[in-house]
Amino acid sequence: NAPAISELFTLPEGKKKIEYQDDSKAKHAGIFTFHLEDHTIGNLLRYTLLRDENIKFAGYRRPHPLENKIQMKVHTNGRVAPKEAVKQAFDNLNIEYSSLKEEFLNEVKKFKGQ
């Protein structure tokens, strides 16, 4: 039943990493499907989105344990589109982790210099 190892890391040809569709049940909401991702990016992105005042709801689910994808629903207040909110959240994560990496490398240099 388990997928082949290559399926866990290789995106099939013609498949997009991120797919988006408007939520038919709620205005200013959309559902993102992230292929080849799991709880790591799901939790990080959800947490980052929920810090944004324009986000009413952000949650994700893993449709099936053997499928290597997550689906995230994002509902905004209408001042910003769900796609823009997710893009901004990824930008914020990039800035945050770039800063963390820089701090870590500086501490490694200090440690090696002792």
How far separated are the first and last CA of the chain, in Å rounded? Answer: 52
Q: CA–CA separation, 19 vs 31, rounded Å?
A: 8
Using pLDDT thresholds of 50, 70 and 90, give the confidence band for residue 4.
Answer: confident
Mean pLDDT of the chain: 94
Question: Count of CB atoms within 10 A of residue 71's CB?
Answer: 17
Q: CA–CA separation, 73 vs 82, rounded Å?
A: 9
pLDDT at position 108 is: 96
Kindly report the pTM of this predicted structure. Answer: 0.85
Question: Count of CB atoms within 10 A of residue 85's CB?
Answer: 23
Mean pLDDT (whole number) for 92-106: 95
